[in-house]
Every structure is written in structure tokens, then in C-alpha cells.
Chain A
């Protein structure tokens, strides 16, 4: 099934600069509907009220971290199947293991490039 380039994508990061970078890269890749949240709790609220096809989230945020957001999503019957990509500077093995155990679909370490982002997107949502 072809990827819907009009799907709503939620990007979550407490660094506004980073939100802008990810949004621009996604737009360069052809995605049109990108929304932003600055922490996990704001993202969770938006996800419960809206209709999104993908979450791309940072880990290190307050008051709700990216990992907590992921766990909340996987514990929510409606949101459970939501594709989730973690983009973070946390690059220790135990971080990746914890994210995997919580049900992350893919994991990108900052700094990253457009090619890496595209590869992971293809892995998670399919070829576009």
C-alpha cells in the first residue's frame, strides 16, 4: 500500500530549532501535514484528540519524556498501533534496549541526516 503523503505526522521535541529541522526535512521528503508538540504530555493530548499516522519524538523532555509518551501510546487501546520513531541524542545501548522493550518502531541518533530519516521512515511506514 502506498504511503499517504498527506498523513498527519506529529513531531515532538522541546528544542524548537529541532522541531523546525525535522519539519523541514519531512517537507523536503514530500510530507505535507506536520504538527508539533514540545513535550510528551502535550503530544499525548494531541494524539488523543486528533488523527495521526506517525509520531517522531525526542526522548529527553519534561514533564513527560519520549519514552513515557511511547509507553502511554502502547498502553492506549486506540493509539496502540501508532508507528513511533525516536530521534534522540541518547545513544547508550540501554536506551535503545529500553525503547525497544517499550515498543518503539525505530530509533535515530542525533545528529542525523535526511537520508537516515528517509531510510527509517521507509522501514516504519513503507516506501514512498
Chain B
């Protein structure tokens, strides 16, 4: 677009110069024929410097620049930086918490199985065998934790890959992406699915470091 403006400025200046020169040359108002001659002269000089195909090319460039500007605006409006700073870290923390919680639960289940195994030794042979079989099945079922953990780890890796790509996109698009961007906080993040005011209270299980204990809750309820 800048090139087209420059071209118009150039033509305008050239026209003014020619008219001024004609004025000074004859010291009289120009006749229509003389004006037409000057205009023809300027157009001819323009065709010499900028061809119609050049003008079309400049116009295409201008259109492309407008398209890129709109794309940058659209990308900025979805706040891609938030994906790196809020969404991905929150998602990975939640998934890590899932792995941690299932691991804890699995270990507790196995602790109880160990106790049952000891108790089984105190039972008559038939009962002991039955209990041992049950405990074995419980151990088998605990396999899920390892496989679940590995699957979640893969998801976390995928999220990190997306994060790096978004980061690269933000970097490539330059400062315009950051301009006017405000980060979201955790509360905003959890309200992305709707305007229902109660949705702010429906945040699901909290990460251990963010949660309060049952004792804290009891204290709050009892007004201590």
C-alpha cells in the first residue's frame, strides 16, 4: 500500500511542477489544450516508470498485506500466549495429579493385599487358597496404573509439543500478537465453557497444593 501512495504522490507532484512551469513560461492561464497536453505528458512519463502490471502487482501486495494484518489480528484475539502460560501448564499439572493419585491408590490397595496375605496364613487351607487367589486377582488388576501412567505421559508429551509449536507461531508473528493481550487467571480459565455464574464454583478436583483438607473444611463449617 505504501508503494501505491508513493506513486500517487509522485504523480501529483509531477503534475503540479508541470503546471507551475507552464504558468511561469507563458505568464497566462493555460488553455484546455495546454492542460490536456501536460496531463498526457505526465501519463506518458508514468507509463515509462510504472507499468500497469506493476500497479496490479502493488495492488496484490497491498491485498496480501491486508490479509496478513487480519490474520495477525485474529490470532492475537484468541490469545495464543495463554495456551503456553495457562492452558498447557494447567492441563499437564492435572494429568500429573491423576498419575500421582492412581499411584497412591494402587499402593494402598496393595498394602491391604499384603495384610490379607498374612491373614490368609492363619486360615484353614481351603480358605487360604481362596484368599490367595483373590489377592492375586487384585494384584493383576493393579496393572492398570502403569499402563494408565504411560498413556497419560504420552498425552503430556503431545501437549508440550503443541505448546512449542504455538510458541514458535507467536514468535514468528511478532509483537503484534502480544499487543493488547491480557493473561487469564485460573478463575477465568475455568470459566471458559460458559457464562453460568455457578460454573465458577464447578472446578472439579483440585491439585493437592491448591486443595484444603477435610480438617480445614470442618473448621470453616464450625466457624472456628
> A: which residues have CB within 8 A of B?
13, 15, 17-18, 20-21, 24-25, 28, 60, 89, 110-114
B139 touches which of A13, A15, A21, A60 (Cβ 8 Å): A21
B149 touches which of A15, A24, A25, A114 (Cβ 8 Å): A15
> Is B135 touching A28 in the complex (CB atoms < 8 A)?
yes
Question: Which of B107, B136, B146 is most buried by chain A, counting CB atoms within 10 A of its CB?
Answer: B146
> Is B110 touching A110 in the complex (CB atoms < 8 A)?
no
List A contacts of B135 (CB < 8 A): 28
What residue in chain B is nearest A115 (Cβ atoms)?
B140
Q: Which 4 A-B pairs have the closest CB atoms?
A: A111-B143, A113-B140, A18-B146, A15-B146
Q: Is the interface of B mostly helix, strand, loop or mixed?
A: helix
A89 touches which of B114, B137, B147 (Cβ 8 Å): B147
Give CA–CA (A89, B29) in the complex, Å: 94
Q: List 27 A-B contacts (CB under 8 A).
A: A15-B146, A17-B103, A17-B107, A17-B110, A17-B142, A18-B143, A18-B145, A20-B110, A21-B110, A21-B146, A24-B110, A24-B114, A24-B139, A25-B136, A25-B140, A28-B132, A28-B135, A28-B136, A28-B139, A60-B150, A89-B150, A110-B146, A111-B143, A111-B144, A112-B140, A114-B136, A114-B140
List A contacts of B142 (CB < 8 A): 17, 21
**Minimum distance in angstroms from B27 CB to a CB of chain A:** 93
Give CA–CA (A89, B113) in the complex, Å: 24
Say whether, besides A17-B106, A112-B143, A114-B136, A24 and B150 are in contact (CB < 8 Å).
no
List B contacts of A28 (CB < 8 A): 132, 135-136, 139
**Minimum distance in angstroms from B57 CB to a CB of chain A:** 52
List B contacts of A25 (CB < 8 A): 136, 139-140
Say whether, besides A25-B139, A113-B140, A114-B139, A20 and B146 are in contact (CB < 8 Å).
no
Give CA–CA (A18, B140) in the complex, Å: 10
Give CA–CA (A20, B110) in the complex, Å: 8
**Minimum distance in angstroms from A120 CB to a CB of chain B:** 14
Give CA–CA (A60, B146) in the complex, Å: 11
Give CA–CA (A111, B142) in the complex, Å: 9
Give CA–CA (A17, B106) in the complex, Å: 7
Question: Which of A15, A17, A25, A112 is most buried by chain B, counting CB atoms within 10 A of its CB?
Answer: A17
